[in-house]
Structure 1
Amino acid sequence: MTPYRYPVPRAAEITPETAWVNRRTVLAGMVAAGLVPTGLRAESSPFSTDEPLTDPEVATGYCNFFEFGTGKDDPARLAHLMRTDPWSVTVSGAVERPGQIPLEDLLAFPQEERIYRLRCVEAWSMVIPWTGFPLSRLLEQVGPTSEARYVEFETLHDPQQMPNQTSAILDWPYREALRLDEAMHPLTILATGMYGAPLPNQNGAPLRLVVPWKYGFKSIKSIVAIRLLPERPVSSWQARAPREYGFFANVNPEVRHPRWHQATERRLHDGRRIRTEMFNGYGEHVAHLYAGMDLHQDY
């Protein structure tokens, strides 16, 4: 299959300066009101990093959410169309207690603060304070059966709210998946907020996955369905361009992307280029999951 080429936006499609100034003003007001804490540090979780946080203006304005467009500013411009209330998640497949779970029940899980690096396949990265809970708590509640080996996730499919779902860039709805042991790992969370506030629509409201040792496309947004399966499913980007997007998608500076060098990354908040770490720096926690695997072949 021919590798997909990201389109270059026209100058007219780039967010005008006035929009960025307005966004900065709004976020500054959130900070002043205590909605965006400025002093979040690693003590919030044993898994958190103590690296400087990405400016919330950057994290909420430079997004990959292809349901709204391929430009990095498209989600921030268009995601207000999406309605996140009411919302529920349907859990099905190899579970003892399938069913539909309202968002309010998911928000009742004890919420934790995690400061995680987010590394994208295009060689840029951020450090974001997420609020959420380990996915394992939800999976334990629904009870995986002995047949469950994989966990598949699905994003909302509604082209009226998500206008780029009328395009042929992907076979909608967007789907991602993890191996069950990856899904049960305490680093894997369902995020409900960032910077001390609820998730903005463009960042995956009201509920998204965050898997910090994998490339960002694995952290699926705006989840409406979770399925536990005996066989490994094919995720959306893997189906679209298998040479570029493997199932595991572990951050690995030794595996070169066909179109980007992965040995270094650019931090968006300061433009600094740094060396990419294996498993995005979380190797001490997750390397054992892949013992004996060839991570060049199983990328």
Structure 2
Amino acid sequence: MLIKRNPNGIDIPFGSEITPRAIFESRRRFIRQLAVGSIAGGALLDAFAQAPGGQKLAAKPNPGFVVMDKPTSYKDATTYNNFYEFGTEKDDPARTAGSLRTRPWTIAIEGEVRKPLTLDIDSLLKLAPLEERVYRLRCVEGWSMVIPWIGYSFAEIIKRVEPTGNAKYVEFVTLADRKQMPGLRSPVLEWPYVEGLRLDEASHPLTLLTLGMYGEVLPNQNGAPVRIVVPWKYGFKSAKSIVRIRFVKDQPQTAWSISAPQEYGFYSNVNPNVDHPRWSQATERRIGEDGFFTRKRKTLMFNGYSEVASLYTGMDLKKFY
């Protein structure tokens, strides 16, 4: 269940600041007491305690975006990943993504906009106050995690570039560098990896331009230095290591819709009533929590984020999968 409260009026410092350990831990206690209660809150604190002590981002927890689920451990969230640019096995990114250089890094924001921008990573960090949001992430393969992400609504980008009336979609283009990404030698997908959202989906407050997780900058294997997180869609819609954002008139040709259109539709909303051609989507396993012999939990429509349902009024979500 998503607990939605009015976040207006919260004074959040810029994310480029470094958080002292005492403040970092006090914020864990704050979100524990405020959002999830003593039992679940203890689990949340334990999850944060497993972070390895990298660069911290000053981001105030936003109680308007919290789920009641137990957070996934830092170890599980950073060692069980899909990031095909670094290999197709779940443990490949953690082993091979050390080759990724995240500075210098720039993102070009262009296309059908009145004010195109090119931003380096430091400018992106300062563009809007950073928030910490605890989101579910559901993979099309049937597993899920609960992760405390750091970022701000992608709507902040949209507001600054001022899309023209021709802009109907947003296309995300990721880095494709064979010297840094050994997985690009594989023909499993066309490179660079491209994903897209309808403009109203990208504008929704839940769509997060993400710069960190577990109180720190993003690890390389989780999409450093910047990615998108769209919590009501399957995880592959959340493009990692983004270098270009384009506002376009026509629906983008995305990597998976080119490679396997019969399996991965453009919308890719979490929908337990629409099976993948090779497996059911009705249930899932929570990584680090549900064992092999544990009964699978039911998958929720829109991954539990029912507030996005109005985006699809009148659409046949079996046809537009």
In structure 1, how many angstroms separate the alpha carbons of the residues matched to 2:301 and 2:316? Answer: 14
Letter in 2 for 1:137: E
Alignment partner, residue 211 of structure 1: 230
For residue 243 of structure 2, the aligned residue among 217, 224, 240 is: 224
Over residues 163-214 of structure 1, what are the superposed CA-to-partner deviations in whole Å (9 max), with x where a residue is unaligned? 1112111110000000000000000001100000110000000000000000
In structure 1, how many angstroms separate the alpha carbons of the residues matched to 2:170 and 2:239? Answer: 12
Letter in 1 for 2:250: E
Residue 86 of structure 2: SS of its match in structure 1? coil
In structure 2, how many angstroms separate the alpha carbons of the residues matched to 1:298 and 1:32? Answer: 43
For residue 63 of structure 1, the aligned residue among 73, 81, 103 is: 81
Residue 67 of structure 1: SS of its match in structure 2? helix
Q: Is it true that 1:259 corresponds to 2:281 in the alignment?
A: no
For residue 100 of structure 2, the aligned residue among 58, 82, 90 is: 82
Q: Is it true that 1:48 corresponds to 2:71 in the alignment?
A: no
Query: How far off its partner does 1:123 sit?
Result: 0.3
In structure 2, how many angstroms separate the alpha carbons of the residues matched to 1:157 and 1:282? Answer: 32
5+ residue gaps, structure 2, are 1-47
Alignment partner, residue 153 of structure 1: 172
In structure 2, how many angstroms separate the alpha carbons of the residues matched to 1:102 and 1:155? Answer: 15
Contact 2:169 2:248 in 1 (8 A): yes
Out of 267-276 and 181-190, give the one that drifted further.
267-276
5+ residue gaps, structure 1, are 1-26
Residue 178 of structure 1: SS of its match in structure 2? strand
In structure 1, how many angstroms separate the alpha carbons of the residues matched to 2:156 and 2:140? Answer: 28
Residue 279 of structure 1: SS of its match in structure 2? helix
For residue 282 of structure 1, the aligned residue among 305, 311, 318 is: 305
Q: Is it true that 1:298 corresponds to 2:308 in the alignment?
A: no
Using the size of structure 1 for normalisation, the TM-score is 0.86
Residue 100 of structure 1: SS of its match in structure 2? strand
In structure 1, how many angstroms separate the alpha carbons of the residues matched to 2:220 and 2:195? Answer: 19
Over residues 267-295 of structure 1, what are the superposed CA-to-partner deviations in whole Å (9 max), with x where a residue is unaligned? 00212521000000001x10000000000
Q: Structure 1 residues 122, 48: CA separation in 2 closer, same or farther (over 3 Å shift)? A: same
In structure 2, how many angstroms separate the alpha carbons of the residues matched to 1:213 and 1:50? Answer: 16
In structure 1, how many angstroms separate the alpha carbons of the residues matched to 2:213 and 2:250? Answer: 33
For residue 194 of structure 1, the aligned residue among 202, 213, 216 is: 213
Q: Structure 1 residues 97, 62: CA separation in 2 closer, same or farther (over 3 Å shift)? A: same
Letter in 1 for 2:98: H
For residue 250 of structure 1, the aligned residue among 229, 246, 269 is: 269
Letter in 1 for 2:300: E
Query: How far off its partner does 1:233 sit?
Result: 1.1
Runs of 4+ in 1 over 4 A off after TM superposition: 31-36
In structure 2, how many angstroms separate the alpha carbons of the residues matched to 1:255 and 1:292? Answer: 17
Contact 2:56 2:217 in 1 (8 A): no
Query: Across the two proteins, how many residue pairs are aligned to each other?
Result: 269
Residue 149 of structure 2: SS of its match in structure 1? strand
Query: How far off its partner does 1:96 sit?
Result: 0.5
Letter in 2 for 1:222: S
In structure 2, how many angstroms separate the alpha carbons of the residues matched to 1:33 and 1:181? Answer: 35
Residue 164 of structure 1: SS of its match in structure 2? helix
Q: Structure 1 residues 104, 32: CA separation in 2 closer, same or farther (over 3 Å shift)? A: closer
Root-mean-square deviation (CA), in Å?
Answer: 2.1
Contact 2:54 2:216 in 1 (8 A): no
Residue 156 of structure 2: SS of its match in structure 1? helix
Q: Structure 1 residues 138, 34: CA separation in 2 closer, same or farther (over 3 Å shift)? A: closer
Over residues 114-146 of structure 1, what are the superposed CA-to-partner deviations in whole Å (9 max), with x where a residue is unaligned? 100000000000000000010000111011011
